[in-house]
Amino acid sequence: MRVYTRTGDDGTTALLHGGRVAKDAPGPSAYGVTDEAVAALGLARAETEPGGELHEILTALQRELFVVGAELATAPENRSKLTDGITRVTPAMVAGLETLIDDLSGRFEPPREFVLPGETRVAAALDLARTVVRRAERACVAAARQGWVAAGSQVVPYLNRLADLCWTLARWQEGTSRPVRRR
């Protein structure tokens, strides 16, 4: 099997459940940034202890982002072919992130002001992942405005909560955050 197919040389890409669109169409643009978020979370995961709690959380989040990507890689006319939790983001997935944020938030004293990322390597990687997830969220909002993301889709709420979770994970890993302003 070859990695290259040459089918995208014309500037188009294949979609899940069929069809081809321009590589810079709303869906591919949004799932491209989502793929970057998967990689950014992988960078953070590489800084953790295999089998540890954070490692397992990040692995699960990376897998869930593939669900986000699958929904975004499906043309609007094929949305009926999506499967909850496998190729379509569900309200339960969003609620799961909220539960995790609430649990982790109880484990540290949250900062009361903006913080400078970089107190630890893993926290810095999580803050980088947070910014990529926010960019994915913005790309999905734009895609929704153009009709690519279905009304009622949980993609944008999921990404919104995931960015919040990345912030929470970074602060949890830091223990003590460095404020933006000097004291």
Tens digit of each residue's pLDDT (9 = 90 or more) over 18-68: 999 999 999 999 999 999 999 999 999 999 999 999 999 999 999 999 999
C-alpha span between 81 and 104 (Å, rounded): 35
Write the pLDDT tens digit of every residue in 114-141.
Answer: 888 989 999 999 999 999 999 999 999 9
Is residue 2, in this structure, part of any structural domain at all? no
Is residue 18, in this structure, part of any structural domain at all? yes
What mean pLDDT comes out for the span 151-162? 97
Is residue 173, in this structure, part of any structural domain at all? yes
Is residue 11, in this structure, part of any structural domain at all? yes
- What is the pLDDT at residue 112? 85
The HSE-up count of residue 34 (CA atoms within 13 Å, CB side) is 30
C-alpha span between 164 and 130 (Å, rounded): 8
Q: Can you give the CATH number for the domain in which 109 is found?
A: 1.20.1200.10
Is residue 112, in this structure, part of any structural domain at all? yes
Is residue 79, in this structure, part of any structural domain at all? no
- What is the pLDDT at residue 183? 58
pTM of the model: 0.94
Is residue 54, in this structure, part of any structural domain at all? yes
β-strands 20-22, 12-14 pairing: antiparallel
Write the pLDDT tens digit of every residue in 76-109.
Answer: 999 999 999 999 999 999 999 999 999 999 998 8
Containing structural domain, residue 17: 7-73+84-179
- Joined together, the tokens standing for residue 14 give 């294949």
The number of distinct structural domains making up the chain is: 1
